[in-house]
Structure 1
Amino acid sequence: MIYSTSLIFIMFYGGFGTNLNVAKPVLVKSILLSTIVVLFTAFLVAGFVYFVFDLTWLQSLLIGSVISSTDATSVFNILRSRHSSLKYGTNSLLEVESGSNDPVSYMLTISVIMLMTGQDISLPIMVFQQIVFGLLCGFCIGKIIVKILNTIHVDESYENTVLIFASSIVAYALANILGGNGYLSVYICGAILGNSYIPHKKDMVHFYETLTKIAQVLIFFLLVLLVTPFELPQVIIPAICIMIFLTLIARPLSIALLLTPFRAPLQQITVVSWAELRGVASIVFAIYTVLYQVDLPFDLFNLVFCIVLLSLSIQGSLLPYISQKCHMINPHVDIMRTFNDYQEDNDISFVKMKIERY
């Protein structure tokens, strides 16, 4: 429950902070990356696990599905801390792709879990419901909240903040009740609110940025409490092998196949491939598999824990170095301009004027 709730706010702020006006030139590529590449990566990892570790195909696909999503917050925390803006619109490409691929990974994970637990479902109908109701709920709730916020004027910003806080929960709950993808609904709702004019948006940005960081810290803190250290050696070798294959083969191949037709430079393909860090979403999806008591030869939770730690420590640490070596750093662009929390319009303006002496 705590993990799912925390992920709701992380997904909401992922959409809320995405500046769609800046991301328009790369929006098509971002959507393709967050859907086709996630699916392709999951199946490549599944094939690797199937042949190397001798698991069943569904067990292998479950592992690939859980770790196919990426963590936008981790990527941009690193880039923001180094004030590193990337060329060719890569900032927006990574932001939209990383923020929107979690619903696809969740949908794929749940589908495999349903098949493995023998539940009587129609996969095409379930996928249709997940996508359609997820999109509709997020869009409608987002538009309704924007209309309310611009119609009812309040003096204190916290009143609007509470309403938006509630809207993220309603977007998730309503989509789930209707059989839709709750995380997709939350992301769409956040994107609509973040890219619409609403009063006191600056205060809301600060609130949700703090809330998201608390949610991430809480997830990792509880994760450490759930991990049993003496069980980790049982999964460390599979985790390292999967991590190497995912980082050096599956993800780069998927990215290259998609971005090459768009004539993307090799440097951009390299950085985009390396910047796909695993994060909190993979941990939450791994917990779902444990709750459903899916049959696996080893503890998937411990496996994902090791993969996430390896990804954040190795990929995350080397991301600035890789970006610099690929000559992808753009010193003339402020990375904050790709986010909605960049306040270009301020209440105070500073004007420099030269007064001649007579």
Structure 2
Amino acid sequence: MLQHLDPFLVAGLLFFLSLIAGTVSERTRIPALILFLGIGMLAGVDGPGGLPFDDASLTNLIGTVALAFILFSGGFATRWQDIRPIVARGVLFSTAGVMITAAAMAVLISMIPGFSFADGFLLGAIVSSTDAAAVFSILRTQRLGLKGSLKPLLEFESGSNDPMAVFLTLAALRWIDAPGAPFGDMLLLFLVQMVVGGVIGVLMGRLACFLIQRLRVSNEALYPVWGISIVLATFGLAQNIRGNGYLAVYICGIVMSNGDFLYKYSLERFHDALAWLMQIAMFLVLGLLVNSGELINGSVVGIGLLVSALLMFVARPLSVFICSIRSDFSLRERLFISWTGLRGAVPIILATYPLTEGHPHARYFFNLIFFVVLTSVLLQGKTLAAAARLLKLDTWIRISPAYPLSFDRTPGSGGEETREVNLLPDSRVVGRTVSELNFPDGVTILLVHRGTRFLIPKGGTRLEAEDALLIFGERSALSDVERLLARRRDAEDAEDDGDDERRMV
């Protein structure tokens, strides 16, 4: 049906349906990935849409570009102060953890009749990376947070383990084509890719901040073009000199997120929107590529369920428990980390590599990986919140309000910025009026978010527990105010911080 319509109309309809699917996902708590893929499958040749699509190379190209922008956006939204305490453990999870998962799956799959160790290693490498973005999307819709350092660890792992999975997949394909390839050569290639990719990411991130600050663009609307060029140049440069482009763009995003430059907030919002667009486009194309008739084949379903079980209950927990040796994580936390190993779009993208390389079982492997991803998202995704509650690792989170106004740094604006501060129930300023807060000069409360309302504060406005204050002022002064508002009402603070108390209230 759709093949007879104008391509632009088809694209518009698919994106519109994806927008509706995103809303349905929030209300029904069904992972958006499943709905996006479902729309692509329905639009495909086996669905009512009837669109013929079987171009693995184009799918691989779209997936590569989309993943580069998604990883950059993930890095750009990461704050160094949040991941700093867990960065060493996170690197271990995203490197050794991925290798352990791939190796364990290689051994387990090779025991299944009809699969060689090389095929097992290829499949294990493809499914070795996790998609924690889906985890937090699910938890956010249920207003659930995670205690301790679980959230930053899982965020960092998901953003940094994709490069390792890509490398292992390409190494497995090379090993299959040339079984006698020296292991030392592959190890050297891995080290070069990771080191070069990391260095390029840091250098390009710092260069981008410097150039954006020094080369003032008169038209604010052109700054997103800056962002696109940074991602493409970083990825391309790293790939051109034998580095890992995915790692480079992720680290570049982290460096830029902790930099200081004009229109940073606008650029972050643009890349967040672009990342969503890339995800939707990627999932739609992957859905078009899959053949539903082949997907529900008895062999695919049976082997897919077995591979999913081995991945979720053996390989992933094994890698987590090994990588968390001598860590502060409790048994309950290790069990939850093991269960949050959701597989997302990356394994499906990596499954197109055997298709483009002409692997004899590429089509079967693609359908198998597709089924494993669906199983993982449906089973683990739907039970994440229950697992967090069962293990007593859940905590209530406050969803940040969407304020009806925003501020961004512009030329000549100086060091002013806005920050949001949530008042704890035992904060010492709860119950006081705005006029009683002697903030430094130039610092003011713009809005108060209370429940579902936004209040314009006046001198007599009395602050209440769990109010969210949108504060504007100089960066240095905001840090002092933020620290003081976070002080709790207890005798020890009152004695130790008497000077602060007298200065502020």
How high is the TM-score relative to the length of structure 2? 0.66
- Match of 1:205? 268
- Residues 207 and 289 (structure 1), Cα distance of their counterparts in 2 relative to 1, 3 Å cut: same
**Are 1:349 and 2:446 counterparts?**
yes
In structure 2, C-alpha distance between the alignment counterparts of 1:81 and 1:111, rounded to whole Å: 38
Q: Name the SS of the counterpart of 1:58 in structure 2.
A: helix
Give the alignment partner of residue 235 of structure 1, picking from 286, 300, 306: 300
Hey, what does 2:502 align to over in structure 1? none
- Per the TM alignment, residue 153 of structure 1 is displaced from its structure 2 partner at its CA by 3.0
Match of 1:269 in 2: 334
Letter in 1 for 2:383: L
Q: After TM superposition, list the pairs within 5 Å mapping 1:61-210 onto structure 2.
A: 61-118=121-178, 122-154=185-217, 156-210=219-273
Structure with higher strand content:
2
Checking the alignment, whether the CA contact within 8 Å between 1:31 and 1:97 is kept in structure 2 is yes
Residue 329, structure 1, aligned to residue 389, structure 2: no
Per the TM alignment, residue 176 of structure 1 is displaced from its structure 2 partner at its CA by 1.1
Does the 8 Å CA contact 1:150/1:198 hold for their aligned counterparts?
A: yes
Provide closer, same or farther for how the CA distance between residues 355 and 160 of structure 1 changes in structure 2, counting only shifts above 3 A.
closer
Counterpart contact for 2:212–2:261, Cα < 8 Å: yes
- Matched residues in 1 for 2:399 and 2:125: separation? 31
Cα distance in 1 between the residues matched to 2:328 and 2:247: 29
Q: Is the 1:43–1:64 Cα contact (8 Å) retained in structure 2?
A: yes
Query: Does 2:219 match 1:219?
Result: no
Q: 1 CA distance for matches of 2:65 and 2:351?
A: 15
Percent identity between the two aligned chains: 30
Amino acid in structure 2 at the alignment position of 1:243:
S
Per the TM alignment, residue 349 of structure 1 is displaced from its structure 2 partner at its CA by 2.9
How far did residue 184 of structure 1 move? Answer: 0.9
| Residues 50/353 of structure 1: CA separation in 2 closer, same or farther (3 Å cut) | same
TM-score, length-scaled by structure 1: 0.91
Structure 1 window deviating more from structure 2 (267-276 vs 97-106): it is: 267-276
The structure whose Rg is larger is 2
Provide the secondary structure at the position in 2 that maps to 1:330.
Answer: strand
Q: Quote the residue 1:340 is aligned against.
A: none
CA 1:124–1:312 in structure 2 vs 1: closer, same or farther (change >3 Å)?
same
Q: 2:74·2:159 contact (CA, 8 Å) conserved in 1?
A: yes
Report if the CA contact (8 A) 1:157-1:203 is conserved: no
SS of the aligned residue for 1:345 comes to strand
- The equivalent residue for 1:56 is 116
Contact 2:72 2:249 in 1 (8 A): yes
Q: Does 1:250 align with 2:310?
A: no
Query: Structure 2 unaligned runs (5+)?
Result: 1-60, 401-416, 421-443, 448-456, 463-505
Rounded Cα–Cα distance in structure 2 between residues aligned with 1:29 and 1:175: 25
Q: Which has the higher contact order (CA 8 A, sep 6+)?
A: 1
**What does the per-residue CA deviation read over 1:261-304, in whole Å, with 9 as the maximum and x for residues that have no partner?**
21311221122111111011111111012101123386111111
Report the Cα distance in structure 2 between the residues aligned to 1:211 and 1:283, rounded to whole angstroms. Answer: 20
Decide which of 96, 105, 117 is 1:36's aligned counterpart. 96
- Give, in whole Å, the separation in 2 of the partners of 1:157 and 1:268: 45
Identify unmatched segments of 5+ residues in structure 1.
337-342
Match in the other structure for 2:375: 310
Aligned-partner residue type, residue 58 of structure 1? A
Distance 1:21 1:316 in 2: 28
CA contact (8 A) 2:355 2:363 kept: no
Aligned length: 350
Counterpart residue type for residue 149 of structure 1 = I
CA offsets, 1:183-235, max 9 Å, x none? 11111111111221222222122211211112112122111211112212131
Instruction: Report the Cα distance in structure 1 between the residues aligned to 2:221 and 2:205, rounded to whole angstroms.
Output: 18
Could you say what the CA RMSD is over the residues aligned between the two structures, in angstroms? 2.3
Give SS of 2:243's match.
coil
Kept in 1: contact 2:354–2:362 (CA 8 A)? no
Q: Is the 8 A contact 1:91 1:335 kept in 2?
A: no
Structure with greater proportional helix content: 1
